[in-house]
Structure 1
């Protein structure tokens, strides 16, 4: 079994990168992991004319998009680790999804209005690191908005089940050590939440303290 961990943060010494590494190191053998560092790899998040052509079924994916799709095809689980910027993904990670999760590959829209979700085999784990307090998220509805746009708007649309969704905040007790402990726990449990191991329930939202 193989997990793809996608991390989006420009600083390799950041807690975001440390959390991604803890997840990879905590996966029990013989489970393997690949960390995709979008910033270090220089992934271009900008939508091009070629990208638009793919989504209207008039072209082949650009080489960098095809490489990412092939990397995802080798994965049994996907983990996204990212800081919360303006109550959502960083632009780099959002652009990765926009370019890689294409029509015909992640989903199929038909002229009669039917939608075929093509990623039901790929459980997703979301791990966001935020700076505000949980009270701030709750008071403004940011947490619910993030869940709607990311879990429902992106992954449910493609059929990819969100196996876990975790928000780590600087106000958490024991932070940042608590964030690393949460990452280790998630890494250990990823094999238990593969489609082959269980029937995945509705998205499980976790708040790690």
Structure 2
């Protein structure tokens, strides 16, 4: 099986990139394949343009860069997003990727008369956010719940994609960031375990 790991961080030496690489390694060690889509290195344009708006209204076809991203997702058996938490959400680069790629007519279909067809029911999604604040801060202000509402439900449930796992890697008490790399490899290793068990059954 194949995982598409999308990472959004401007620094290729960041912990976010290291987590994405270790997660992909875990997928490979489990006997599957993984592709890392580095949105910054690839120069993806996150700006929602007039063309994208016309696509939303079904008045134009998606541009070539959007079609290429949709094809990458179509080839994947799972989508993994790895990102730093900026202002209690995902970075603008990743949000813009979703804004443009998860378009009307592909990720979902708004049918005249008010019917919504969710078109990504086959796609399990795994979220790995890296936060800079401690667990107490997230719990005290309800940030974790707010992020789940916005991202898990507001984006992916709207398209029918099931958020299979949602991990928030926060600063460890020991200051040993290696625990995040170990966690990432474990996440990658079990990414397709439920699917495999379902096939075996």
TM-score bracket for this pair, using the shorter chain length: over 0.9
CA distance in 2, matches of 1:124, 1:77: 6
Counterpart position of 1:24: 24
CA distance in 2, matches of 1:193, 1:52: 38
Counterpart position of 1:193: 194
CA distance in 1, matches of 2:115, 2:173: 43
Post-superposition Cα deviations, 1:19-45, rounded to whole Å, max 9, x if no partner, equal: 000011111454111000000001000
Counterpart position of 1:183: 184
| Cα drift, residue 198 of structure 1 | 3.9
Relative to structure 1, the CA distance from residue 192 to residue 174 in structure 2 (aligned partners, 3 Å threshold; closer, same or farther) is farther
Counterpart position of 1:74: 75
Kindly report the root-mean-square deviation, in angstroms, between the aligned alpha carbons of the 2 structures: 1.4
Q: TM-score, length-normalised on structure 2? A: 0.94
CA distance in 2, matches of 1:173, 1:126: 24
Counterpart position of 2:145: 144
| Cα drift, residue 93 of structure 1 | 0.2
Post-superposition Cα deviations, 1:160-209, rounded to whole Å, max 9, x if no partner, equal: 00010000011445641111111011011011134x7549xxxxxxxxxx
CA distance in 2, matches of 1:111, 1:139: 43
| Cα drift, residue 112 of structure 1 | 1.7
CA distance in 1, matches of 2:30, 2:182: 19
CA distance in 2, matches of 1:59, 1:135: 47
Counterpart position of 1:47: 48
| Cα drift, residue 120 of structure 1 | 0.7
| Preserved contact between residue 163 and residue 193 of structure 1 (Cα < 8 Å) | no
Q: Which has the higher helix share?
A: 2
Of 107-116 and 129-138, the range deviating more from structure 2: 107-116
| Preserved contact between residue 132 and residue 171 of structure 1 (Cα < 8 Å) | no
Q: TM-score, length-normalised on structure 1? A: 0.91
Counterpart position of 2:168: 167
CA distance in 1, matches of 2:153, 2:56: 20
Counterpart position of 1:206: none
Counterpart position of 1:108: 109
CA distance in 2, matches of 1:197, 1:154: 28
| Preserved contact between residue 30 and residue 189 of structure 2 (Cα < 8 Å) | no
Relative to structure 1, the CA distance from residue 75 to residue 172 in structure 2 (aligned partners, 3 Å threshold; closer, same or farther) is farther
The runs of 4+ residues in structure 1 deviating greater than 3 Å are 171-175, 196-199
Q: Any gaps of 5 or more consecutive residues in structure 1?
A: 200-209
| Preserved contact between residue 51 and residue 99 of structure 1 (Cα < 8 Å) | yes
CA distance in 1, matches of 2:87, 2:62: 30
| SS of match in other structure, 1:44 | coil
